[in-house]
Amino acid sequence: MKPRSIVNILPAHALKMGPVTVHQPLPTQRVEQIDPFLLLHHFGPWEVEPGYDPLDLGPHPHRGFEPVTFLYSGGLRHRDSRNNTGILKGGDVQWMTAGMGIIHSERGSKEFLDQGGTLEGIQLWVNLAPEHKFVQPRYQNVKAEDFPRHDFGNGASLKIVAGEFMGVKGPVKTYSPVTAWQLELPAGANVMLPVPEGYNFAAYLLDGEITSGNGFNYEGRTLLNYRKDGEGVSLTGKAEMTRILLLGGIPIGAPIVQQGPFVMNSQTEVLEAMRDYKMGKMGFYID
């Protein structure tokens, strides 16, 4: 299997968001998107005192894409205008399709706020194709124990969130072909991961250090964007343990106009989204 080469190395830069700082490797001035992936925020790890909520995101709207939360540790509570309520713990994944429009909030769960502890996760924005921009909103809250895993036999372990690996499918449903895997890679372990032809592919290192197929080392809080010049990616662990989020998908190739929480294909559609939100067409949120 010929390994893909790396076209962009995107270090995550610190971004102040209210009282907290998150790390953002995508988008950057050089790379606006890795189609269909629009944005990646790595929050934490934060040591949180009981009673304090560093990620108190009150009710806000979305339209035209899928906001996804990978929670690595801590506890979050989701609530939205479609009467969905979800409690996330470490290892859970929340995959929400905003579609035609939804209002939601994400806050610390009561259990986590009572006890405190470490909070860490990733928020990912996945674009929707023009024909799916106005689908009915959908909420998927998948628990850690419900994800299939692949053990490589060398200490490395892969959690299959979406897409397929070695004939095993992840439980998350997507509107376009998308791969989302979470890899734990110990020092000295090598894995070769097949990537479907035509997929864009990227690997975000939360921490640790790896050697990729080109022999260069890369450290945590770095996003590696691969060319479509091979059949897979080769990764070798250099630190005691490296955690990696692996993302692949068929590019949508449609124009993007984004303003705040709306991702559409034209400025007219963005203005319509603002109007519809103000008129209550995205539902009403009751906390």
**Angle of CA points 48, 52, 53, to nearest 5°:** 90
Q: Is 106 annotated as a binding residue?
A: yes
205 vs 237, 256, 263, CA distance in Å? Answer: 11, 27, 26
**Residue 177, preceding bond cis, omega within 30 degrees?**
no
Per-residue three-class SS string for the chain: CCECCEEEEEECEEEEECCEEEEEEECCCCCCCECCEEEEEEEEEEEECCCCCCCCEEEEEEECEEEEEEEEECEEEEEECCCCEEEEECCCEEEEECCCCEEEEEEECHHHHHHCEEEEEEEEEEECCHHHCCCCCEEEEECHHHCCEEECCCCCEEEEEECEECCEECCCCCCCCEEEEEEEEEECCEEEEECCCCCEEEEEECCCEEEECCCCEEECCEEEEECCCCCEEEEEECCCEEEEEEEEECCCCCCCEEECCEEECCHHHHHHHHHHHHCCCCCCCCC
Q: Is 60 annotated as a binding residue?
A: yes
Amino acid, res. 89: K
Binding-site residue ranges for Fe cation: 60, 62, 104, 106
Binding-site residue ranges: 60, 62, 104, 106
